[in-house]
Structure 1
Amino acid sequence: MVEKITASRPAAAPKKAFMRIAIIAPYSTGPMRGNITTVKRISRGFIEAGADVTLLPMDTTSPAGIREQIDSYVPDVIHAFHAGICGEVASNLAEQLGVPCVITITGSDINEVRFRDTDAMKFAMARATAIACFDTAVSAKVTRYFPAASGRIAIIPQGIAAPPCSRLSWPGISPDDFVLLLPAAIRPVKNILFPLAALVPLIGDLPKLKLVVAGGVIDSGYAAIVSEELAASPHAVWLGEVPHEQMGSLYARADLVLNCSSYEDMPNSLLEAMALGRPVLAADIPGNQVLVRSGETGWLYRSEDEFRSMVMQLARDAALRSDTGRRAREYVLSHFSPHIEAKLYLELFRKLVSVHHP
Structure 2
Amino acid sequence: MHILISSAYPLSSPKGNSITAKRIAKLLTQAGHAAQAINTDMPPPADAMIALHATKTLAASKRFKVNSPNRKLIIYLTGTDIYREQTNNNPEFKEALILADALVVSQRASLASIPSEFQDKSHFVPASVLLPPLKKVSSPPSPSLALIGHLRSVKNPFLMNKALKELDGLKLDVFTLGAALEPNMLHEVHNWQQADSRFHWLNDVPYTKALSWIQQVDFTLNTSHSEGGSNAVAESIVLGTPVLASKIEGNVGMLGDDYLGYFEPNNASSLARLIHLAVTDYSFHQNLLQQITDLQQNFLPEKETAGWLKLLR
Q: TM-score, normalised by structure 2?
A: 0.91
Once the two structures are TM-superposed, the CA of residue 35 in structure 1 deviates from its matched residue by 0.9
Q: Is the 1:42–1:338 Cα contact (8 Å) retained in structure 2?
A: no
Once the two structures are TM-superposed, the CA of residue 215 in structure 1 deviates from its matched residue by 0.8
Gaps of 5+ in 1: 1-18, 351-358
Q: Is the 1:196–1:230 Cα contact (8 Å) retained in structure 2?
A: no
Counterpart for residue 274 of structure 2: 310
Residue deviations 1:291-340, cap 9 Å, x none? 224664x51111332222221121123343244224313312x1122222
SS in 2 for 1:102: strand
Once the two structures are TM-superposed, the CA of residue 126 in structure 1 deviates from its matched residue by 0.8
Q: Is the 1:264–1:288 Cα contact (8 Å) retained in structure 2?
A: yes
Of 150, 153, 156, 1:191 maps to 156
Q: Is the 1:163–1:276 Cα contact (8 Å) retained in structure 2?
A: no
Once the two structures are TM-superposed, the CA of residue 56 in structure 1 deviates from its matched residue by 2.1
Once the two structures are TM-superposed, the CA of residue 93 in structure 1 deviates from its matched residue by 2.1
Residues 1:31 and 1:233: Cα distance change in structure 2 (over 3 Å): farther
Counterparts in 2 of 1:16-165, with a 5 A limit?
Answer: 19-28=1-10, 32-57=14-39, 61=40, 63=41, 66-67=42-43, 70=44, 74-97=45-68, 98-113=70-85, 117-143=89-115, 147-162=116-131, 164-165=133-134
Gaps of 5+ in 2: none
Q: Is the 1:84–1:115 Cα contact (8 Å) retained in structure 2?
A: no
Q: How many angstroms apart in 2 are the aligned matches of 1:115 and 1:290?
A: 20
Residues 1:32 and 1:166: Cα distance change in structure 2 (over 3 Å): closer
Residues 1:319 and 1:164: Cα distance change in structure 2 (over 3 Å): farther
Q: How many angstroms apart in 1 are the aligned matches of 2:258 and 2:284?
A: 9
Q: TM-score, normalised by structure 1?
A: 0.80
Size of the aligned set, in residue pairs, is 310
Q: How many angstroms apart in 2 are the aligned matches of 1:192 and 1:226?
A: 9
SS in 2 for 1:290: helix
Q: Is the 2:5–2:24 Cα contact (8 Å) retained in structure 1?
A: no
Q: How many angstroms apart in 2 are the aligned matches of 1:89 and 1:166?
A: 34
SS in 1 for 2:220: strand
Once the two structures are TM-superposed, the CA of residue 162 in structure 1 deviates from its matched residue by 4.8
Counterparts in 2 of 1:263-302, with a 5 A limit?
Answer: 263-293=226-256, 296=259, 298-302=260-264
Q: Is the 1:158–1:341 Cα contact (8 Å) retained in structure 2?
A: yes
Q: How many angstroms apart in 2 are the aligned matches of 1:330 and 1:226?
A: 35
Once the two structures are TM-superposed, the CA of residue 178 in structure 1 deviates from its matched residue by 1.6
Q: How many angstroms apart in 2 are the aligned matches of 1:108 and 1:42?
A: 19
Counterpart for residue 6 of structure 1: none
Identity percentage of aligned residues: 25
Q: Is the 2:50–2:73 Cα contact (8 Å) retained in structure 1?
A: yes
Which range moves more in the overlay, 84-93 or 269-278? 84-93
Q: How many angstroms apart in 1 are the aligned matches of 2:172 and 2:114?
A: 40
Q: Is the 1:115–1:121 Cα contact (8 Å) retained in structure 2?
A: no
Amino acid at match of 2:285: R
The question of 1:168 aligning with 2:137 is answered: yes
Q: Is the 2:219–2:244 Cα contact (8 Å) retained in structure 1?
A: yes
Residues 1:28 and 1:326: Cα distance change in structure 2 (over 3 Å): farther
SS in 1 for 2:254: coil
SS in 2 for 1:84: coil
Q: How many angstroms apart in 1 are the aligned matches of 2:177 and 2:78?
A: 21
Q: How many angstroms apart in 2 are the aligned matches of 1:233 and 1:320?
A: 26
Q: How many angstroms apart in 1 are the aligned matches of 2:138 and 2:20?
A: 27
Q: Is the 1:252–1:278 Cα contact (8 Å) retained in structure 2?
A: yes
RMSD: 2.2
